[in-house]
Structure 1
């Protein structure tokens, strides 16, 4: 990732082979038996524009047996790409070891797409610059600064989903967070990416950021309540995060009418727009935290003031599970399910349907 973090121009195609120049990828079968230090890489032939997109997402990974179990799940699901939501090694100096673990499980050509977490954004527990060197962007048409703030459409031609990956609420090398305050450059970049997706009639908009705002785990709202409300106001379909080492998924939330804005650390029933597992697009936004990519889990707090917003949760003290979210996006539907790693049983699923 060369150049300044403030450069929000196009990155373009980042060193991928001709077979990866279309995002719509169908992965060939990947055999998993006893640990193999040099497993065969997963091949990635292209599919037609407008084809369904299968992706996985999780954060807070580490370099451990748990992380490898989650990677095994990802490999078995054969997604077209993985959104990695920050906090990779929890230790400085082992970036290459992490990258080798990933490529050993998924193959060197698999789009294991990075977004920095707070542990590597400022370099104290790894360096995002080094991670993006050994796990570079593998998607065509990426715009922004890969690893920090970027967007991509999938497939690149006639897309069914736009991914917008941003980094509010975490510190970088100068000890300061990037500016996502209202009407700042990064606020406008995010808002414009959402608006453009809607103007181009891309069916689904997915925003990823390391830190959540709503949580019944350990943290408050580092992402910022104004930024979070902007995502809801613009009717982003799905917001993904890590940071809290739990799985938690909200009902569909909306603002307006009985909910002028969503206020963290409180609950308003007026912000709930749909509380079953099959929801209509445009009614609100679903927030999912998947901080269960391999590291130790946190407790979930049923007495948290925000608990009424959540439809499903898993933590150290309730249905503990490592795993990944698996999402299938088509022109008509966004269907998601939590898939646990070996040895765990917790599950969750929800669907958004276009009107």
Structure 2
């Protein structure tokens, strides 16, 4: 997977948690990353549940050997932060948060109206008020999934991201690749419910979408650890445009996201020896 990223020569990489699955190997992991991608690439971190509380690694150790390299970053790197890319005349704001996972003192509070809820909404709203074309949110756990897990990110928090018209939400945690259609709330969909499906929540179901009509969710849990099965009977399956897991075209790889002032595009890039293909575009105007 790192070889696939290296061939893309990206400006940055978002690593959405669960990095080493074993305590004491943080430096080994960092050396593997920098050996493949070099020491200058911003390989940007947000914690997963395996290193958030230190039981299988420690996010603080990963931060020390893979520090922030994006200028102007705001917040607490590794846990809750945002950055505009590029720093001057940005085309995208990346907002990284950590709902739904345990830290040493328990889970962080992302409930409605909490300090971390307000921080997240302010980061989203200020990007829009500053005229930054695209807003991308990243977090370790998804809400909608046809893999192994339920809505660990929280129903209210996830619906807030849709209501705020975030363009793209990225996650890991579930060891599958899954990408939704564009989802929206409104008169025909007061709010999305986990473990259920409502056709009224589908804003657009083809590969070319318009900004402001809804939000696309993509889980890219395909970094190298064993994959999970796709549950084709999951009620949420109707929200998904593409799924891949242990029992359905199993593939490791990465999501290549590109943003210009007028268009945000993404395509799944499989590691060598795998074949899954998926792509979509969101256009402004």
- In the superposition, the TM-score normalised over structure 1's length comes to 0.80
1:101-136 CA distances to partner (integer Å, 9 max, x unpaired)?
Answer: 000001111110001000000000000000000000
User: Does structure 1 residue 354 correspond to structure 2 residue 284?
Assistant: yes
Separation of aligned partners in 2, 1:192 and 1:81? 24
Given candidates 338, 343, 354, the residue that maps to 2:268 is: 338
- Give the aligned partner of residue 239 of structure 1: 169
Q: Secondary structure at the match of 1:230?
A: helix
Of 190, 212, 219 in structure 1, the residue corresponding to residue 142 of structure 2 is: 212
Question: For residue 107 of structure 2, what is the aligned residue in structure 1?
Answer: 177
Q: 1:142 aligns with which of 65, 70, 73?
A: 73
Determine the structure 1 residue equivalent to 2:157.
227
Kindly state the Cα deviation for residue 196 of structure 1 after the two structures are TM-superposed: 0.3
1:23 maps to what in 2? none
Task: Give the equivalent residue in structure 1 for 2:226.
Answer: 296
Runs of 4+ in structure 1 deviating by more than 3 angstroms, as ranges, are none
What does the per-residue CA deviation read over 1:155-200, in whole Å, with 9 as the maximum and x for residues that have no partner? 00110000000000000012x1000000100000000000000001
Larger of the two Rg values belongs to structure: 1
Given candidates 105, 114, 122, the residue that maps to 2:53 is 122
Aligned partner of 2:254 in structure 1 is 324
Distance (Å, rounded) in 2 between the aligned partners of 1:339 and 1:251: 19
Q: Could you tell me which runs of 5 or more consecutive residues in structure 2 were left unpaired when the two chains were aligned.
A: none
Q: Secondary structure of the equivalent of 1:79?
A: coil
- Between the aligned partners of 1:150 and 1:208, the Cα distance in structure 2 is 10
**CA deviation after TM superposition for structure 1 residue 255, in Å:** 0.2
- Cα RMSD after superposing both structures: 0.4
Cα distance in 1 for partners of 2:183, 2:131 equals 22
Tell me: higher relative CO, structure 1 or 2? Use CA pairs within 8 A at least 6 residues apart: 1
TM-score by length of 2: 1.00
- Alpha-carbon distance in 2 for matches of 1:347, 1:190: 32
- Supply the distance in 1 between the matched residues of 2:231 and 2:268 (Cα, whole angstroms): 20
Mapped to 1, the partners of 2:281 and 2:225 lie a distance apart of 28
**Does residue 311 in structure 1 map to residue 241 in structure 2?**
yes
The residue that corresponds to 1:16 in the other structure is none
Could you tell me which residue of structure 1 aligns to residue 214 of structure 2? 284
Aligned residues: 285
